[in-house]
């Protein structure tokens, strides 16, 4: 498929935290390495009243703060900053979009838009772009979450976008899909004959996916208390990881084939609803405790009022298809947990018969640990004999085979997720973006769970900050003879 890179990039929310920490550093890194189209114009917009010079100074300060000093070459900085223009726009004022059109100009050579805005402003922003002539045939739009708070609000936003942009020009962003190790999961499965024959109910005992955070609200009070852990993490990031682990081999590595297989998994998730939500899920909310050796307040104290919002959720999920029948997927995410990590843990089934048992050896099942953050790493745990004469019996020990990505690819520059996603947006590759039917399958599953919580009057169980959630989360797995991988 031939794709034409956009000649211009329009960046909404350009003065926000995401822009400073991720978007501007990502675009600078791509430009410094010669990966952006040579004549790409970057037009930034937000409500702040900068002019071009003021925004370039703002962008330079962000780059010097968030880009490693060794990457901040003066010549490269100057070249990148010269690409930038700025137009203040209040999305609620249709007239502001006229000034945007004057700076962006013609979209005949393509325009890519990165839109990060409050859900309440999505429709007004899309209408403003359309009325200003910034939604023509050569225009793509990238949508940063949150894309709604449930199926109904998600459909409302997607309907507003679809009224102006066809699906093949909509790029819904889940930044986890841009992480190198997430993509390496596909290579691990589909480029090696070692794993795929075992990657099913006959070879895998269970799968765990953990996304844990040590932070609390961190300035996200307005969003988080209306969302909670299941909408903040499970509905998007974790279900995307589950889909990549569980998907069937696609025929090709392209956007249609990959996303077709992911949506099949999401539609095969066994429903959790009013009949079983209390048995298949655990929710919690952190109370005061200690994280990283320092005292931290409870959620209600940080919020300044009582709340029933969950800051922790654990779920036992099942996929009802031939490959995964009987294999549980345990999902766990929360705030104020002991460590920050995103990890996929796959436990293979035990060998059917141990020839070493009579000699006193104890076997452990093989395990594959795919660590996404903070350190990208793939670890395979195998059984090996302990050196010795074995006169008192054979001793076996679990030993790791590690592939630390920074070490294995020391000669390659490691890129953050938004570098890849922004470049794919500019170049028009949808493979790592989320299709509407995926989003709706995710919301359908999550909305049923939340309705189950309400119908069963489930309230978050308290857990002390710095621990791995409520004790009921341990019981969720241990009743199946499974222990969380901490």
> Annotated binding residue at 145?
yes
Query: Is residue 466 within 8 Å of 289, Cβ to Cβ?
Result: yes
Token reading at 427: 């170049």
> Annotated binding residue at 123?
no
> Annotated binding residue at 349?
no
> Annotated binding residue at 206?
no
* Catalytic residue flag (residue 206): no
> Annotated binding residue at 264?
no
Query: Is residue 241 within 8 Å of 182, Cβ to Cβ?
Result: yes
Helices and strands, counts by H and E, the chain: 17, 17
Does residue 34 come out as left (phi exceeding 0), alpha (psi in the -120 to 50 range) or beta?
left
Task: Tell me how far apart the alpha carbons of residues 40 and 280 are, in angstroms, rounded to a whole number.
Answer: 50
For tokens 């502001």, the residue is 96
Task: Tell me how far apart the alpha carbons of residues 122 and 92 are, in angstroms, rounded to a whole number.
Answer: 10
- Beta-carbon contacts of residue 472 (< 8 Å; ≥ 6 apart): 282, 284, 461
> Annotated binding residue at 450?
no
Q: Other CB atoms closer than 10 Å to residue 475's CB: what's the count?
A: 11
> Annotated binding residue at 419?
no
Task: Tell me how far apart the alpha carbons of residues 191 and 178 are, in angstroms, rounded to a whole number.
Answer: 19
Residue 407, burial from CB neighbour count under 10 angstroms (0-12, 13-18, 19+)? exposed
Task: Tell me how far apart the alpha carbons of residues 44 and 46 are, in angstroms, rounded to a whole number.
Answer: 7
Cα 165 versus chain centre, distance:
24
Catalytic residue among 237, 252, 353, 485: 237
Annotation: binding site: 47, 145, 175, 179, 213, 232, 335
Active site positions, annotated:
237
Annotation: binding site for NADP(+): 47, 145
Annotation: binding site for substrate: 175, 179, 213, 232, 335
């Amino acid at each position: 498929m031939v794709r034409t890179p956009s000649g211009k990039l329009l960046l909404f929310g350009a003065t926000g935290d995401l822009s400073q920490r991720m978007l501007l550093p990502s675009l600078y890194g791509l430009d410094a390495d010669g990966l952006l189209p040579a004549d790409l114009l970057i037009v930034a917009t937000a409500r702040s009243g900068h002019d071009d010079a003021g925004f370039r100074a703002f962008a330079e300060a962000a780059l010097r703060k968030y880009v490693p000093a060794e990457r901040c070459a003066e010549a490269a900085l100057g070249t990148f900053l010269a690409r930038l223009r700025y137009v203040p726009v209040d999305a609620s004022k249709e007239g502001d979009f006229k000034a945007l059109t004057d700076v962006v100009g013609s979209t005949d050579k393509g325009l890519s838009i990165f839109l990060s805005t409050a859900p309440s402003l999505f429709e007004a922003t899309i209408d403003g772009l359309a009325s200003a002539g910034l939604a023509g045939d050569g225009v793509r739009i990238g949508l940063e979450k949150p894309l709604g708070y449930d199926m109904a609000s998600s459909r409302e936003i997607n309907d507003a976008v679809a009224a102006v942009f066809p699906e093949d020009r909509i790029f819904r962003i889940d930044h986890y899909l841009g992480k190198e190790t997430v993509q390496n999961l596909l290579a691990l499965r589909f480029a090696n004959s070692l794993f795929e024959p075992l990657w099913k109910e006959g070879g895998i005992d269970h799968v765990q996916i953990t996304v844990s955070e040590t932070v609390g609200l961190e300035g996200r009070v307005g969003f988080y208390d209306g969302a909670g852990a299941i909408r903040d993490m499970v509905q998007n990031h974790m279900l995307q990881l589950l889909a990549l682990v569980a998907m069937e081999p696609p025929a090709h590595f392209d956007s249609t084939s990959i996303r077709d297989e992911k949506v099949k998994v999401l539609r095969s998730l066994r429903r959790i609803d009013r009949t079983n939500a209390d048995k298949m899920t655990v929710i919690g909310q952190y109370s005061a405790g200690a994280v990283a050796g320092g005292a931290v307040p409870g959620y209600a104290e940080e919020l300044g009022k009582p709340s029933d919002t969950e800051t922790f959720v654990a779920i036992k999920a099942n996929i009802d298809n031939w490959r995964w029948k009987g294999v549980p997927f345990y999902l766990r995410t929360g705030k104020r947990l002991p460590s920050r990590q995103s990890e996929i843990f796959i436990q293979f089934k035990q060998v059917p018969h141990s020839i070493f048992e009579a000699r006193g050896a104890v076997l452990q099942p093989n395990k594959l640990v795919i660590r996404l953050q903070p350190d990208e790493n793939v670890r395979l745990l195998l059984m090996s004999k302990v050196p010795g004469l074995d006169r008192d019996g054979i001793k076996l020990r679990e030993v790791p085979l590690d592939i630390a990505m920074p070490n294995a690819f020391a000669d390659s520059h490691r890129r953050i997720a938004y570098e890849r996603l922004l470049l794919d947006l500019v170049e028009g590759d949808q493979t790592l973006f989320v299709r509407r039917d995926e989003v709706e399958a995710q919301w359908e599953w999550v909305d049923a769970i939340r309705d189950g919580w309400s119908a069963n009057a489930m309230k978050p169980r308290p857990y002390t900050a710095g621990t791995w959630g409520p004790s009921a989360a341990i019981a969720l797995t241990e009743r199946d003879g499974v222990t969380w991988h901490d």
